[in-house]
Amino acid sequence: MLAQESDTPVFKSGVANVRVDVQATVGKELIKNLTKDDFAVTDEGQPQSIVSFSHGDEPLNLILLLDISGSMQKYIEEISKTAREALAHLRPADSVAIMVFAKTTAVHQEFSDNLAETARQIGSAVRDHDVGVTTQINAAVMDAAHYMEKHGDPTARHAILILTDNLSMSYQLTDGQVIRELNKADTVFNAIVTGHAIEPRAPKPSMYPNPDFTPANVFHLAEETGGEWVKMGRADATFNEMIERIRSRYMLVYHAPEAPKGTFRHIEVALNADARRRFPSAELRFRNGYYAE
């Protein structure tokens, strides 16, 4: 979420350290030249010393979560044509998994650091799985979070990138439940949205009289986990851009203060005065809290 918004728990720490994945932008442009000394971090309002800082050096585990319902297949085919170029933004230690979904999910490729093979696998993902004809976005994101928690490298950054039209109804699975599972997996959620890419309005009782059904909202999932969403332009170019943006984030680490287990601790990340003078319009996206272990 944007740095100004800090009311939702979105990060769970390790035993000794708190890791905060941060994106810095001015408008749509990434800020790529910040240093450790440009950031200030507080935990429950108390300044923290950043004990580890990286920008592109830490490994990344990325799940490509592809909506392969009928309306989406042409976009995946377009992405596959230039996927190798897009995945070139990643580093040798990075690993990518591919999951597909419609009504259900399937793992098309387990985590692999063979990025050339991953690029080839994107095109075949559409053809190789029978996952139903309706679309269940929240359930798919939940499955991806569970896969990340079970199979992801705990020392790596974790990210999910979904490609979808956001046209889905969730049954008895709220955004809050999905966000909590993303938090447990220490995963930033990002989305490429096709079509009109208009965030759904908060539903009125008359719109959805059955409270068990809620409209999909990948915009909300991205904002609440410190990720971002973009509207699909040209499919291959948009995919390329999002891979670069996911890879170009900062990792700040500080020692977790003593706190009762299960206590929610609020995090704030800001630029210091000098960096703010250099980038007065900067926006930071980050996970803004964690539960003490």
Give 214-257 pLDDT, tens digit per residue.
788 999 999 989 999 999 988 889 999 999 999 999 999 999 99
pLDDT at 208 over 80: no
The torsion of the CA quartet 6, 149, 24, 52, rounded to 10 degrees, works out to: 100
SS3 content of the chain, % helix, strand, coil (to 5): 30, 30, 40
Between 2 and 45, the higher pLDDT residue: 45
Residues of the chain with pLDDT > 70, as a percent, come to: 91
State the average pLDDT for the chain.
88
Q: What is the pLDDT of residue 236?
A: 87
pLDDT at 7 over 80: no
Per-residue pLDDT averaged across 106-114, rounded? Answer: 97
Of the CA atoms within 13 Å of residue 265, those in its CB half-sphere come to: 28
What domain count does the chain have?
A: 1
Asked whether residue 184 is domain-assigned, the answer is yes
Asked whether residue 34 is domain-assigned, the answer is no
Q: What is the CATH number of the domain that holds 124?
A: 3.40.50.410
Per-residue pLDDT averaged across 40-44, rounded? Answer: 97
Asked whether residue 118 is domain-assigned, the answer is yes
Range of the domain at 132: 60-247
Asked whether residue 155 is domain-assigned, the answer is yes
Poorest-pLDDT segment among 15-19, 60-64, 188-192: 15-19
Poorest-pLDDT segment among 72-76, 85-89, 270-274, 288-292: 288-292
Of the CA atoms within 13 Å of residue 19, those in its CB half-sphere come to: 21
Contact indicator for 191, 164 with CB cutoff of 8 Å = yes
End-to-end CA distance of the chain: 23
Asked whether residue 3 is domain-assigned, the answer is no
Q: What is the pLDDT of residue 32?
A: 92
Q: What is the pLDDT of residue 14?
A: 43
Burial 60-81 (b: 16+ CB within 10 A, else e): bbbbbbbbbbeebeebbebbbe
pLDDT at 8 over 70: no
Q: What are 143-180's pLDDT values in tens digits?
A: 999 999 999 999 899 999 999 999 888 878 889 899 88
Q: What is the pLDDT of residue 130?
A: 83
Helix (H) / strand (E) element for 85: namely helix 83-87
Asked whether residue 180 is domain-assigned, the answer is yes
pLDDT level of residue 202 (50, 70, 90 thresholds):
low
Asked whether residue 225 is domain-assigned, the answer is yes
Contact indicator for 183, 9 with CB cutoff of 8 Å = yes
pLDDT level of residue 196 (50, 70, 90 thresholds):
confident
Distance of CA 182 to the CA centre of its chain: 9
**Tokens, residue 246:** 């996911």
Asked whether residue 45 is domain-assigned, the answer is no
**Tokens, residue 190:** 């990002």
Look at residues 272, 173, 276 and name the one whose alpha carbon lies nearest to residue 216.
173
Between 125 and 143, the higher pLDDT residue: 143
